[in-house]
């Protein structure tokens, strides 16, 4: 299990796009992952309100979901997103980091099912939720 | 009697392109990703020029799904916003100089966005076009497709719902 966690961390931290967006792991468990992306003015989507662009939140959720799949104890290797849906419930508060939590709640020989949520400093009121399907590679 | 001569084509084009550039360049995240738009009449094509920071899998290598989805979402929002602005510009309800001067309209807000990843994103430029399937007073539904070398082989597509900005306020 330790190796899985290490693999997920190494795999994700070697991603140029994740690095460009300042994403960091805060926790990896058995089929779960948590990440954080600090507020950055370059990621603003609405110049008037200074709210982060939904696309940056999407990228963080996608990465966290992928990491949760890799961190699943039954998953043998790498993964790719098949489909991912995001619901944006509210604007993220400008100036606050985005934190994401993803759980790979089901895994077949071919498909991994994941859900995730994105939060700012308000723990009880998510900014966005995501549900996605990911490939499972390398099972014989 | 004399009919008013139509404006020279270059003047019309320049005004439309300036209005579009003002809309696109006002958003920092669009600049961060390096997305540009090519305009032919009212049709827009989003262009995501390749950059190393867009890579999600360095081994393949492949574009990050998040970069692709952001590109799709940006193309959908700008496409939707432009479709509304185009009508208003053509009807003379909106002064392009106001846009160019930075008095930008509020952009539609994404309610939900669903992306299908069809193929791995190659490490080269990507293109996308949005189709507004429905644009009402409050809600809009937009489909968007992205491709790379071959227009007929999309590498990703998405559908999203958007909350339209309040045009009265």
Which pLDDT does position B86 carry in this prediction?
A: 87
Would the pLDDT of B52 be above 60? yes
Residues of chain A with Cβ-Cβ distance to B76 below 8 Å are none
pLDDT of A96-127, one tens digit each?
Answer: 999 999 999 999 999 999 999 999 999 999 99
Would the pLDDT of B77 be above 50? yes
The answer to whether the CB of B102 falls within 8 A of the CB of B110 is no
Residues of chain A with Cβ-Cβ distance to B66 below 8 Å are 17, 21, 55-56, 58-63
Would the pLDDT of B68 be above 60? yes
CATH of domain B9-163: 3.10.129.10
Do B109 and A88 make contact, defined as CB atoms within 8 angstroms? yes
**Distance from first CA to last CA of chain B, Å, rounded?**
41
- Could you report the predicted ipTM of this complex, rounded to two decimals? 0.90
Mean pLDDT, all residues of chain B: 91
Residues 89-148 (B) with a CB less than 8 A from some CB of A: 104, 106-107, 109-117, 120
Pairing relation of β-strands A32-37 and B43-48? unpaired
SS3 content of chain B, % helix, strand, coil (to 5): 35, 30, 35
Nearest Cα to B65, choosing from B111, B30, B116?
A: B116
Give me the count of residues in chain A: 140
Between chain A and chain B, the number of residue pairs with CB atoms below 8 A apart is 130
Q: How far is CA A45 from CA A118, B39, B52, in A?
A: 17, 22, 22
**Distance from first CA to last CA of chain A, Å, rounded?**
20
Burial label for B168, CB within 10 Å (0-12, 13-18, 19+), is: exposed
Residues of chain A with Cβ-Cβ distance to B144 below 8 Å are none
Neighbours of B89 (CB within 10 A): 18
The answer to whether the CB of B30 falls within 8 A of the CB of B118 is no
Do B56 and A83 make contact, defined as CB atoms within 8 angstroms? no
Residues of chain B with Cβ-Cβ distance to A44 below 8 Å are 27-29
Most confident range (mean pLDDT) of A5-14, B80-89, B140-149 is: B140-149
Do A47 and B116 make contact, defined as CB atoms within 8 angstroms? no
CA A122 – CA B161 distance, rounded (Å)? 25
Residue of A nearest to B74 (CA): A55
Which pLDDT does position B169 carry in this prediction?
A: 45
Residue of B nearest to A78 (CA): B57
- A140 domain residue, yes or no: no
CA A18 – CA B126 distance, rounded (Å)? 19
- A99 domain residue, yes or no: yes
Do A43 and B29 make contact, defined as CB atoms within 8 angstroms? yes
The answer to whether the CB of B22 falls within 8 A of the CB of B78 is no
pLDDT of A6-42, one tens digit each?
Answer: 766 676 678 999 999 999 999 999 999 999 999 999 9
Q: Given CA atoms B96, B97, B98, B99 in this order, what sign does their dihedral have?
A: positive
Which pLDDT does position B147 carry in this prediction?
A: 98
Total domains, chain A? 1
CA distance, residue B139 to nearest chain A CA (Å): 14
Q: State the average pLDDT over residues B25-50.
A: 95
Question: A29-59: buried (b, 16+ CB within 10 Å) or exposed (e) per residue?
Answer: bebbbbbbbebeeebbbbeeeebbbbbbbbb
Q: What token pair was written down for B109?
A: 């807000």
CA B74 – CA B62 distance, rounded (Å)? 20
Residues spanned by the domain of A19? 2-135
Residue of B nearest to A49 (CA): B106
- A11 domain residue, yes or no: yes
Which residues of A make CB contacts under 8 Å with B?
14-21, 41-48, 52-56, 58-63, 66, 78, 80-88, 91
Residues of chain B with Cβ-Cβ distance to A66 below 8 Å are 65
Q: What token pair was written down for B92?
A: 């003379």
- A94 domain residue, yes or no: yes
């Amino acid at each position: 299990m330790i190796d899985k966690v290490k693999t997920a961390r190494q795999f994700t931290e070697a991603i140029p796009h994740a690095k460009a967006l300042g994403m960091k792991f805060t926790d990896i468990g058995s089929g779960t992952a948590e990440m954080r992306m600090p507020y950055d003015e370059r990621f603003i989507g609405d110049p008037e309100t200074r709210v982060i662009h939904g696309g940056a939140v999407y990228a963080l959720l996608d990465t966290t979901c992928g990491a949760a799949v890799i961190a699943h104890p039954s998953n043998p290797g790498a993964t790719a997103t098949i489909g991912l849906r995001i619901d944006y419930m509210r604007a993220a508060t400008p100036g606050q980091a985005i934190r994401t939590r993803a759980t790979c709640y089901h895994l077949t020989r071919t498909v991994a099912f994941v859900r995730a949520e994105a939060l700012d400093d308000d723990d009880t009121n998510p900014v966005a939720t995501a549900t996605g399907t990911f490939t499972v590679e390398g099972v014989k | 009697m004399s009919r008013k001569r139509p404006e020279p084509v270059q003047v019309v084009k320049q005004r439309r392109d300036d209005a579009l550039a003002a809309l696109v360049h006002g958003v920092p995240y669009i600049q961060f990703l390096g997305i540009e738009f090519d305009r032919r009449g009212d049709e827009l094509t989003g262009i995501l020029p390749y950059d190393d920071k867009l890579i999600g899998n360095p081994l393949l290598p492949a574009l990050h799904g998040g970069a692709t989805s952001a590109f799709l979402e940006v193309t959908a929002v700008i496409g939707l916003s432009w479709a509304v602005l185009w009508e208003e510009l053509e009807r003379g309800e909106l002064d392009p100089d106001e846009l160019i001067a930075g008095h930008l309209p509020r952009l539609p807000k994404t309610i939900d966005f669903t992306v299908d990843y069809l193929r791995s994103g190659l490490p080269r430029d990507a293109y996308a076009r949005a189709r507004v399937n429905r644009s009402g007073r409050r809600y809009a539904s937009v489909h968007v497709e992205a491709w790379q070398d071959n227009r007929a082989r999309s590498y990703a597509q998405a559908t999203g719902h958007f909350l339209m900005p309040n045009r009265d306020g």
